Structure 1
């Protein structure tokens, strides 16, 4: 891979540290180089990466959608153009998808998504969004951004329309992640808040520059970053440890429109295999614990934290309100008692 493209894909916290500085001696130069190499090795977990073309979708999309001639299959209203795979056009009631035909058995991987969301609708008059999947099921139409509900695996959603009337100061479009085990339903009315692992706002509509989504799964840790500002720098979106995803699932991308619509385009999906150095103990522990059902450690803790966050503003409002009413009530009682005391005191002097 070219050095320039490798540098552009690195998170900004790595690239921003590279500054020129004078070296006063060869010994200093050697010491700094060794220290820097150790730091970069620690940041990347001493890993190497390899582009997996059989799991990547890039131009010129040769044979995509044709039976037996491509690793990718189209579904619904999706279509291939010279510039992108259009999941949905800017029209009402459309669903489209592109799914990998080959299950992925990689232990650690990284997906870079080049996408576009654009249309004629004004702010909050567009919808509904797109999703990137790593799931047991494939090629299933449904209400969750064009995929089935109660899915098994990972979904990363680019949600462009708020369904919840009081969305608790959340700014849309919003990117969030969810892990399903086949029995967890996505809550449309609350924009997925009860089951989300985390997320971030991302103003991705109608931008003239490229927009990217970065999904990394390494050592049972899920990291999502975005590059949407045209600065070629990654911005943190969510970072969750203890995410357990089985191997052998399928990658895909889906989108859906309803009464409101947008063009949802996938320019490229690039999957990289990450080769991470592990200790013998780590390898033995992972081999002993075979993951068969997707799960997240401390998911109940994440949910309770989200619930507390959602209720904090309401609880604070009522706390302040009742505190003020209590203070006013006590003040009135105090004034009444004081007036009675003053009157009785004056009567004693007559």
Structure 2
């Protein structure tokens, strides 16, 4: 009898061990499947992307590729000057403008530009200006009013605007800022031009901007960075200005269509107010993205020749909606209440006449 019990216990133990092994195998299989799924998701989010530094489109110390010779990759313009530590687009002096432009057109489909810059000067808050811009445009080496570049440009401009011109515009229109519309300067914004869109200097580019964010970049003791990525017709701008080596989102716009073969550049301008605008480095990375055959065929069929942004009117209408002031809200509520009271009174009068006529029919 004891032998039977021992055999029974052995069979039960063996069956239990077998089931436990099966459960362990299933758990291990599910764990590996989960890891594989997460890895696939991360790969899809990153578009299985690799990046490569393109030195011919980049600018960094000791700036050997900058000059007026035909063999140089970058060319200076205006008041810009080269030092051992930076390229100063403008000094902290009035009415100056300078630029540095790439000589080689960029034919990359997907790219990422990392800008290391510094803006500093003697002027106190709102007594400095005007800012700098990073460009990817069809035109190059053209002086003008848009941060030292031409107006009605063709391509992309990302602006670091340090002076609030719109305050004067608002005062002239006898309007007031609302918490929804007021901005804190310096302010980073992006704009896509097709050759016929003008930058509204008085309103700090608000009517034509794609989006933006405030960025307190003046007179910082640590480095300032601007990140511009263009991938799969999506424009992303981020900033790193807190000295924490962390990118902060500024704008992310899908449906941005930029042709290839444009030029990179950086410009700056001063007016009655001034600042030192320094470019320390411009590093361009080629992004290698794996596309499906369908995506490649669609992109080949739709050749981009003019810069544009999908649903631009809808985007701007959402951004340019101005909130009502406190007085406007007060009168809106007041007239709404008066209108309701008026309708109630009219209703009571009509009901009273109807009820009186109804009683008369019974006599």
TM-aligned CA deviation for residue 67 of structure 1: 1.1
CA distance in 2, matches of 1:313, 1:45: 43
CA distance in 2, matches of 1:313, 1:114: 39
Q: 2:251 aligns with which of 238, 241, 247?
A: 238
Using structure 2 for the length normalisation, give the TM-score. Answer: 0.80
Q: Show the counterpart of 1:305.
A: 318
TM-aligned CA deviation for residue 318 of structure 1: 1.5
CA distance in 1, matches of 2:87, 2:281: 8
Q: Show the counterpart of 1:137.
A: 139
TM-aligned CA deviation for residue 303 of structure 1: 2.0
Q: 1:98 aligns with which of 100, 116, 123?
A: 100
**Structure 1: runs of 5+ lacking an equivalent:** 1-24, 335-350
CA distance in 1, matches of 2:232, 2:340: 58
Q: Show the counterpart of 2:330.
A: 320
Q: Show the counterpart of 1:49.
A: 51
Using structure 1 for the length normalisation, give the TM-score. Answer: 0.83
Q: Show the counterpart of 1:72.
A: 74
Q: After superposition, what is the alpha-carbon deviation per residue over 1:146-186, rounded to whole angstroms, capped at 9, x for unaligned?
A: 00000000000000000011463111000000000000000
Q: Show the counterpart of 1:125.
A: 127
Are 1:254 and 2:267 an aligned pair? yes
Q: Show the counterpart of 1:109.
A: 111
CA distance in 2, matches of 1:138, 1:235: 30
TM-aligned CA deviation for residue 139 of structure 1: 0.1
Across the two proteins, how many residue pairs are aligned to each other?
Answer: 308
CA distance in 2, matches of 1:35, 1:331: 62
CA distance in 2, matches of 1:247, 1:325: 55
Are 1:197 and 2:207 an aligned pair? no
TM-aligned CA deviation for residue 277 of structure 1: 0.6
TM-aligned CA deviation for residue 68 of structure 1: 2.2
Q: Show the counterpart of 2:10.
A: none
CA distance in 2, matches of 1:221, 1:206: 32
Give the alignment of 1:175-190 within 5 angstroms.
175-190=188-203
Give the alignment of 1:264-343 within 5 angstroms.
264-307=277-320, 309-310=321-322, 312-314=323-325, 317-324=327-334, 327=337
Kindly tell me: are residues 107 and 324 of structure 1, through their superposed partners in 2, closer, same or farther at Cα, counting changes over 3 Å? same
Q: After superposition, what is the alpha-carbon deviation per residue over 1:307-331, rounded to whole angstroms, capped at 9, x for unaligned?
A: 3x22x234x7413323236657999
TM-aligned CA deviation for residue 30 of structure 1: 5.0
